[in-house]
Amino acid sequence: MNGGAIQAEGLTRDYGRFRALDHVNLTIEPGRVVALLGPNGAGKTTLLRLLMGLLEPTEGHSWLLGAASRALPEAVVARIGYMGDAEEPPGWATIQSLVNLQAEASAAFDREQMEQFLEARGLSPGRAYGALSKGQKKWVRAGLILAAGTDVLLMDEPAEGLDPSARQDLYDRLREHASQRDATALVATHVISDIERIADDVALIDRGRLVVHAALEDLREQVRQIELPANEPVPAWPQDVNVLGRKCDEDMQLVWVQCPRGTENELESVLPRQATVRGVGLETFYLALTQHGQPAETSHPPTECLS
């Protein structure tokens, strides 16, 4: 491994015969906030659980802060904040008992910050966790890992159930935490508008496979949609052009590519005359790919259409 704060190599997980995660390679440098984007069932939660070491990978390995996820030493595990989708404290636990629990585990836990976090939503420490609304529960759990002074944050849909103002507030605090501590965060979501608020980078996962991992700015500028006639063979793509996915129907094929700066002319040169190229936003690309498209097999997929 090369020292990324979060790293995965060939990470794969099967549930029986179902492959939930398929050979994911991912390196996230320290200080980056990465939005993990994908539809329901894409493998986001499985990836986060594998990274946290809660599950054994069927194949591959992962590391957090340089330590193997499945054998995190005491000094490392206390620097990781994990907020899963299904992991919940028991309903009888009071907020105060959860704060105490977290404070014992994390030497850097800031009780004052946690108090402010709770006050921001009018939550008193004596309330039972089970009596909170869904959004309040998320708020408390997010507060626990942010106040713990963690260096790596793994969060699964942290803002789900929060009202718009709480949602914005949470993401502001997350950004602030990341910039103040140079913390690394991987935040799973399927809400594209969230990404604008938090992300430096975007990792798009679909059907268990990492389709793209790139800087948000680059994706905004570099994703192109290419329309080709259905009977037109797919061209040999230039080396630097990354094919993200394809969709085929009777009349037309759509191919989405990530075209780095300076390779536009190279791309134009390999396309047939009938092809049309246009830039698309992240949302358009994401919806098209996850609703209809086929994720690319490799960066240079076979010429036959898959669907």
Partner 1 sequence: MRIRISLLKMMMRQCLPATLIGLPLAVLYVLLTRQPLDWANPWMGLFVLGHSIALAFGLGRYRSPGFAFLYTRGYSRDELWLHKLLVTVLAVLTVWLPLALLIWLPIRSTVQDVLFRSPYSLILMLREVAVPWAWLAGYAILLPSFHYVWVRRAQPLAGGDGAVLLASGTVIVIGTLMLFGWLPHWFWILTWALAVVVSVTNLGAGLLLHRTIEVQ
Residues lying near partner 1 in the complex (CB under 8 A): 49, 52, 54-56, 70-74, 77-84, 86-90, 92-93, 97, 100-106, 144, 148, 150
CA angle 205, 206, 212 (to 5 degrees): 45
Query: Minimum Å distance from CB 58 to partner 1?
Result: 9
Rank residues 3 and 73 by Cβ distance to partner 1 and give the closer one.
Answer: 73
Q: Quote the least distance from Cβ 82 to partner 1, whole Å.
A: 4
**Residue written as token pair 């935490």:** 177
| Dist. CA 1–CA 170, nearest whole Å | 32
CB atoms within 10 A of CB 56: 9
Closer Cβ to partner 1, 156 or 200, answer by number: 156
Contact 208, 20 (CB under 8 A): yes
Quote the DSSP letter at residue 257. E
- Tokens found for residue 154: 């793994």
Q: How far is the CB of 303 from partner 1 (least distance, A)?
A: 40
Q: Which is nearer to partner 1, 88 or 297 (CB)?
A: 88
Give min distance, CB of 301 to partner 1, in A. Answer: 33
Cα separation, 140 vs 114, whole angstroms: 9
Measured CA angle at 71 (ends 88, 180), to 5 deg: 65
Q: Which is nearer to partner 1, 71 or 236 (CB)?
A: 71
- Give the residue with the Cβ less far from partner 1, 56 or 250: 56
Q: Which is nearer to partner 1, 48 or 204 (CB)?
A: 48
DSSP helix/strand/coil, 211: strand
Within 199-303, residue ranges assigned H as helices are: 216-222, 264-270, 282-291
- Provide, rounded to whole angstroms, the least separation between the CB of residue 127 and partner 1: 17
CB 191 within 8 A of CB 120: no
Alpha carbon distances (Å) from 294 to 159, 219, 256, 291: 29, 18, 10, 9
E strands in the chain: 6-15, 18-28, 33-37, 59-64, 67-68, 80-83, 152-156, 184-189, 201-206, 209-215, 223-229, 242-248, 252-258, 276-279, 294-295
Interatomic CA distance for residues 227 and 248, integer angstroms: 10
Nearest approach in angstroms of CB 266 to partner 1 is 46
- CB closer to partner 1 out of 85 and 218: 85
Smallest separation, CB 85 to partner 1 (Å): 10
CB 143, min distance to partner 1, A: 13
Quote the least distance from Cβ 46 to partner 1, whole Å: 9
Nearer to partner 1 (CB atom), residue 142 or residue 296? 142
Nearer to partner 1, 39 or 84 (CB): 84
Specify which residues 213 forms β-bridges with: 203
